[in-house]
A and B are shown apart, each in its own frame.
Chain A
Amino acid sequence: MKLLKTTGFGLPCLVAVGVASAATLQIQITPKVSGENLQPASFRYQTSAGETFSITRVSYLVSNFALQRNDGSWLEISNSVAWLDFDQNRNSIWLETIPSGEFCSVRFTVGLNTNLNHADVAKFPAGHPLNPNLNGLHWSWQGGYIFLAVEGLWRNAAGELDGWAYHLARDTNATRITLAAPLVITNETKVELDFDLATLLNAPRPLSFGKDGSSTHSRDGDPIAAALVANLPGAFRVHKITALTDEEIAVAHPKPLYLPKNFTPYPFQMSATFPIPDLPRDNPLTVERVTLGRTLFFDKQLSSNNAQSCSDCHLPEKAFADNRRTARGAEGEFGPRNTMPLFNLAWKKEFFWDGRAKSLREQVLQPIQNPVEMHQSLTNLCAKLRATDKTNYAGLFEAAFGSPEITAEKISLALENYLLTLTSFNAKFDRVLRGEEKFTAAEQRGFELFSTEYDPRRGQYGADCFHCHGGPLFQSQAFANNGSDGAFTDIGREKVTGKASDRGKFAVPSLRNVELTAPYMHDGRFRTLEDVIRHYSTSVVRSATLDPNLAKHPDGGVPLNEEDQHALVAFLKTLTDAQLLTQAETAGK
């Protein structure tokens, strides 16, 4: 039981202030289909028009919770907003300090009110439900959030696999849900709600992917958005009300590892328009650690034969990638995948093309040990660094970690520190947005195409790039099958998750600095940006895991004439940041 904080003035004549009792109310919302638990990515569902479909994503924002007292008045719960996501197992919101009492209804909004929907998203702290880097729902090119994203695949009339993506957005589509829920709150309480997706797609206004369209972006007058808004209220049902068990929260902040007595906090620089990243609290960015990390990054001793440093594949002048088709190791062997560029890593949660490393400190040790990369054991590496007299590593470790002892863990922490400082945010694009430079006509056209959906039914003929490469970072944290192959020699993400639904999926890279990082795709199959654009225009291959946002396009991809393809390339080249190079070399100096 929680207590309301009360304040008194300590005057002896005051009667003791009555302390109101209060409790936490957990509202858990579980996606269902016709009352059954949602089976993601399985082709077991049918629309009322008889179309077979799957659901691969259910991600949405709920806000403005309120409880109705038995006298009919409403208790509004301020600042109640949550991001719920099926894939991330985010299904609950905890409403704190609800005064004890009896209530008869619960009310909330799917979506956000106008103020929240257009708040300055760069101000939300790292864990806030509205931080775009957390929820991936900020529709940066149109302003505001996607309130509800449901996506999946379906079989069209010809029996072919097609994608569907319903994105409900815009202020006017925020939908209020009111449910009768008799509640007696004396202690922690949990209300379990079902969110039935069958109802969402069916009642009272049945939707058919074939008849009504397989995508909506909620533009004005869009009938699919109107149907979703009409169906939403009936899609939520009360499942169960129980007293809450002690699965309570309070995650303590981790203590910093190996913090020396004296250190200088490192000023981490980013664009004022980027969301606030979740920088590691247990590995604080300090000038000393960044200096050590930078020294290690450029040291060839990290490879067994002292032939290769990190920077030999991650060339600073190439946005920390190289121009080889696939990576070449210290001993001349070639790996299976294209070297990834290194910048804006602070906004990523999973690393490598298949996301097999959950943190940078986990990631950085892998290339050192990989036989086709630097091919060196960690024991060996630590011994070499201790013995070297070229660099005073003992002194650098002492300054960074408070003791001269060299361990693999500290190496990983120092490299993590350094890599996190590589931020890119000063390309021509940024300067154009700041009004310091102007786009050429081709660049402007490219930007327009980039940030406009392809949706002929609604009169939109963009290139639909922003769905995956959206936002100020031009990246998403997602893994996607971009239609490069039908059969996979490299199954990508599936190898990590073991899920067939992840077959052929790879990390969606940032498009910042993309001009510098040819060749392209996880296996470096495309030599030029023109080749890449052509791929998305004519050569997208359909398969079971093809991203729904691509699967909804015509066979082959988004039709783009030659002029528009050039315009897109011209726009992509405005994302090149010359400042990254200087920054890389001076970080920590």
Chain B
Amino acid sequence: MKFHFSVMIFCGLATTGFADPQITSWFTLDAGKFAQIYRTDAEKLSDRPETTWSNGRNTQRQPAYCGMQEILSSANWIYVRSTGLGSQIMGPWQNGWFPNLPTDQHFIFAIPRHPKEQTTHGFNHLGEIGMFVDGVRMFDAGDAFYYSNQNGEDASPRAGIGQGDRIWNRDALVNEGRTFDAALAHQQNRGTYHYHTEPIALRYLLGDHVDFDPVTKTYHESSGAPVKHSPILGWMQDGYPLYGPFGYSNPTNPASGLRRMVSGFVLRDGANGADSLAQTGRRTLPSWEAREQNRSVTLNNFETGPDVNELYPLGHYLEDYAYLGDLGETLGRDFDLDELNGRWCVTPEYPHGTYAYFTTIDVNGRPVYPYNMGRRFHGYPNGRLVAGIHEPVTINFIAHPGAAIVTAAMPAAKTTTLTWNPGTGSYESK
């Protein structure tokens, strides 16, 4: 029994019946902690984080709490309210030169409770694709800029040529990775802190085979083999879970051992049966992307991409990758994950099986394409940010106001009465 009068950090979730991973997987331990950033390397090295900040463009005038603030549920939806700010001390981004700072987004994200496989394979508009369990947003592998054939260069905020042709999509890690902080996250111009790749800081918080060096304040993959299945890192807009990199060797056998999930994508560098863009130039789309864009692999002259060179190295665009399933190799035997970066499998949370995405890292522990998800959702991506909630809901977790402090249950009796017992010479309670 807990000390009734005391209050405690609310870390458990009240659920009825069996535990629903869509409710129980969220990281709420830091719900009452103020979010913090280092703006510069100097602040980081001397360990002087800030809780309020402004750079003119993005302002956090009052301290805001870390991430998850509420979990609510109805029959068909899970609603999570989050500040969108990470639990770890965020930043710095390019030692303060990156123009954006994160701010409290106070959004409500709705996730479908009953995910369903899409029957038609339409191209889904990407960008924000899900939510990590610490309440930080997940963006897709691209950076929302594309090659502009007409201008002969990538669209960029500076080039002033819109966003480009939407045919050759830039890889966010390759093109913007230098603006990521140690957690591998950054924020867009409106202050939404987000990951494009594996969320290494979150994996550390969840104990998913990541170490943190408190001196350099950097994260790295733990040495040694993983000893447990990766936890759920987040939820995609289609309602299916995203796991860390380690799953069961045999998708349907939890006793089959663990291994790092191998993605189905390889660079189009002439190896693995793929063509060589360095030799052909960027004149064809890979088959998987042609399917997604519903067009032929052959491109018109006005649709081709730049030649592979120092400015546009292989891997610069998502279309620089080929899918092994198109090259004669077999899913489940030669590689683990389908072209959406997931598979049907059993997991600790879903002993009877689920479709699950896995974040992908390479043999050295570095993020590798397609990172969290391919170019399409497995299910109908009905999840979205909502302005309000217009149906009755159950409160599964609530933090602020009241922050981390939730009172424990009180005893049935309000008072204790002590009375001296002449027989024993001591005071006894009734």
Name A residues whose Cβ lies closer than 8 Å to a Cβ of B. Answer: 118-122, 138, 140-143, 220-221, 223, 253, 255-256, 259, 265-274, 276-277, 279, 281, 284-286, 425-426, 432-435, 441, 444-445, 447-448, 451-452, 456-457, 459-461, 471-472
Contacts and interface: CB of A to CB of B under 8 A. Distances in A.
A223 B211 CA distance: 13
A462 to B, nearest CB: 10
A142 B8 contact: yes
B49 interface: yes
Contacts of B301: none
B161 interface: no
The binding surface of chain A is classed by DSSP as loop
B216 interface: no
Query: Which of B420, B422, B430 is packed against the most chain A CB atoms within 10 Å?
Result: B420
B419 A433 contact: no
Interface string B419-430: 111100111011
Contact of B419 (A143, A265, A448): A265
B49 A279 contact: no
B4 interface: yes
Interface stretch (B192-200, B375-383, B401-409): B401-409
A268 B418 CA distance: 5
Given A140-B5, A265-B421, A472-B5, A435 B401 contact: no
Interface size class of B (residues with CB under 8 A): 35 or more
Interface stretch (B26-34, B73-81, B120-128): B26-34
Contact of B49 (A256, A433, A456): A456
B363 interface: no
Contacts of B373: none
Contact of B413 (A118, A223, A268, A272): A272
B411 to A, nearest CB: 5
Nearest to B8: A143
Contacts of A441: 401
26 contacts: A120-B1, A120-B4, A122-B3, A138-B6, A143-B2, A253-B425, A253-B426, A256-B425, A267-B418, A268-B427, A270-B415, A271-B415, A271-B416, A272-B4, A273-B411, A274-B5, A284-B422, A426-B414, A434-B410, A444-B401, A447-B405, A448-B401, A448-B404, A452-B405, A459-B33, A460-B34
A472 B407 CA distance: 13
Q: Is chain B's interface secondary structure helix, strand, loop, or mixed overall?
A: loop
Given A268-B427, A451-B405, A460-B33, A433 B2 contact: no
Which of B66, B214, B405, B408 has the most chain A CB atoms closer than 10 A to its own CB? B405
B227 interface: no
Contacts, number: 144
A266 B33 CA distance: 47
Contacts of A433: 4-5, 407, 410
A468 to B, nearest CB: 17
A265 B425 CA distance: 12
B416 A272 contact: yes
The 10 closest A-B pairs by CB, nearest first: A273-B5, A143-B8, A284-B420, A120-B1, A472-B5, A140-B6, A268-B418, A265-B419, A267-B417, A434-B410
Contact of A272 (B411, B419, B427): B411
Given A120-B1, A286-B420, A425 B6 contact: no
B429 A220 contact: no
A268 B420 CA distance: 9
A433 B410 CA distance: 7
B9 interface: yes
A127 to B, nearest CB: 10
B165 to A, nearest CB: 45
Contacts of B417: 267-270
Contacts of A273: 3-5, 410-411
A434 B421 contact: no
